[in-house]
């Protein structure tokens, strides 16, 4: 089993994560709170009340957990493809496997990573949603003091299953959209690379960026549902389940609610995934 794929997945994921984190915080706030008029308003308010640090709330944990999550995604994807097509990463450059195989391998990677990601993502969303200022003295202390305290509190108040709140929606968000992610990436690389050659850095950057956009654009409706279910444990109005969340959100806020965070998700997706794929490919090439 090629271990390099897991390691390259980890490092490239971490680089992409830092790059896109401020966008991510703004997105989570827009999806789950009604206090902001739009992207710019949200950014200005975060900056004024919480300083630049406000954009990086809850980041230490995702950085540590991306080790597991992105390496699971890339590792499972690549190894599944190897099982399906009996080709290695290098062979696949010469002869593109069928889109069905790429899609299936991407979906498998997405499915497995969704469950690895679920508890980390929940904690991230809870911390990002704390609007208390860290710099102003005398402001009320936030409910969660940090990721470990947050995990312990959730365990105590909501039980072990509480840590997997929203994981069904997360799985529905990630399984098909990561299939699409790898199809877009491999397809674009293949299209713009002369046969037998390795794709250039520019091709990898652009293909990775568009893969990110394609997958986030399609993932946004379930991303909203997932974030709302995850916040259910702290807000008084918890949803009875996924259906209830979809129906209630739709009745109260209309169809547009499922596209909250759409613009910011797409804007974040390009740089994050361009950097992720470029570092992934460079590492694999370096290790030959």
Ligand X SMILES: C[N+](C)(C)CCCC[C@H](N)C(=O)O
- Binders of ligand X among residues 13 to 42 (CB under 6 A) are 13, 16
Query: Where does this chain touch ligand X (CB under 6 A) — which range of 125-133, 137-145, 175-183, 184-192?
Result: 175-183
Considering beta carbons, is residue 167 or 215 the nearer one to ligand X?
A: 215
Smallest separation, CB 24 to ligand X (Å) = 8
CA dist 213 to 64, 84, 209, 220, 234, Å? 24, 26, 6, 11, 31
Binding-site size for ligand X (CB under 6 A) equals 14
Pick one of 212, 221, 232, 261: the residue that binds ligand X (CB under 6 A). 212
Between the CA atoms of 228, 229, 231 and 235, what dihedral angle is there, to the nearest 10 degrees?
100
- 177 scored as a contact of ligand X (CB under 6 A): yes
- List helix spans (H) across the chain: 4-32, 39-50, 60-85, 89-94, 99-128, 147-158, 167-191, 201-231, 242-253, 262-286
- Binders of ligand X among residues 213 to 272 (CB under 6 A) are 215-216, 219, 269, 272
Considering beta carbons, is residue 11 or 178 the nearer one to ligand X?
A: 178
d(CA 266, CA 132): 27
Pick one of 108, 130, 167, 273: the residue that binds ligand X (CB under 6 A). 273
CA dist 270 to 181, 200, 207, 224, Å? 12, 17, 9, 20
Query: Where does this chain touch ligand X (CB under 6 A) — which range of 27-35, 135-143, 197-205, 210-218?
Result: 210-218
Considering beta carbons, is residue 67 or 155 the nearer one to ligand X?
A: 67
Note whether 193 and 185 are within 8 A (CB). no
Smallest separation, CB 188 to ligand X (Å) = 16
- 153 scored as a contact of ligand X (CB under 6 A): no
Smallest separation, CB 96 to ligand X (Å) = 21
Catalog residues that contact ligand X under the rule CB under 6 A.
Answer: 13, 16, 173-174, 177-178, 181, 212, 215-216, 219, 269, 272-273
């Amino acid at each position: 089993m090629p271990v390099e794929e897991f390691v390259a997945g980890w490092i490239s994921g971490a680089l992409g994560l830092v790059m896109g984190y401020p966008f991510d915080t703004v997105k989570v706030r827009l999806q789950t709170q009604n206090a902001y008029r739009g992207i710019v308003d949200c950014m200005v308010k975060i900056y004024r009340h919480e300083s630049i640090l406000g954009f990086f709330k809850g980041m230490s944990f995702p950085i540590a957990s991306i080790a597991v999550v992105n390496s699971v995604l890339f590792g499972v994807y690549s190894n599944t493809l190897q099982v399906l097509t009996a080709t290695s990463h290098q062979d696949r450059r010469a002869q593109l496997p069928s889109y069905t195989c790429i899609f299936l391998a991407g979906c498998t990677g997405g499915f497995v990573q969704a469950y690895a990601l679920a508890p980390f993502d929940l904690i991230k969303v809870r911390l990002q949603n704390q609007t208390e200022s860290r710099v102003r003295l005398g402001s009320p202390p936030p409910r969660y003091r940090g990721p470990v305290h947050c995990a312990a509190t959730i365990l105590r108040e909501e039980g072990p299953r509480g840590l997997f709140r929203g994981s069904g929606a997360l799985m529905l968000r990630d399984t098909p959209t990561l299939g699409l992610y790898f199809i877009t990436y491999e397809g674009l690389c293949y299209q713009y690379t002369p046969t037998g050659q390795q794709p250039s850095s520019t091709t990898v950057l652009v293909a990775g960026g568009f893969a990110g956009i394609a997958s986030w654009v399609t993932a946004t409706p379930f991303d909203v549902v997932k974030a709302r279910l995850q916040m259910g444990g702290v807000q008084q109005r918890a949803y009875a389940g996924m259906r209830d969340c979809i129906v209630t959100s739709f009745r109260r806020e209309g169809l547009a609610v499922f596209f909250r965070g759409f613009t910011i998700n797409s804007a974040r997706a390009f740089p994050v995934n361009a950097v992720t794929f470029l570092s992934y490919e460079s590492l694999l090439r370096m290790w030959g």
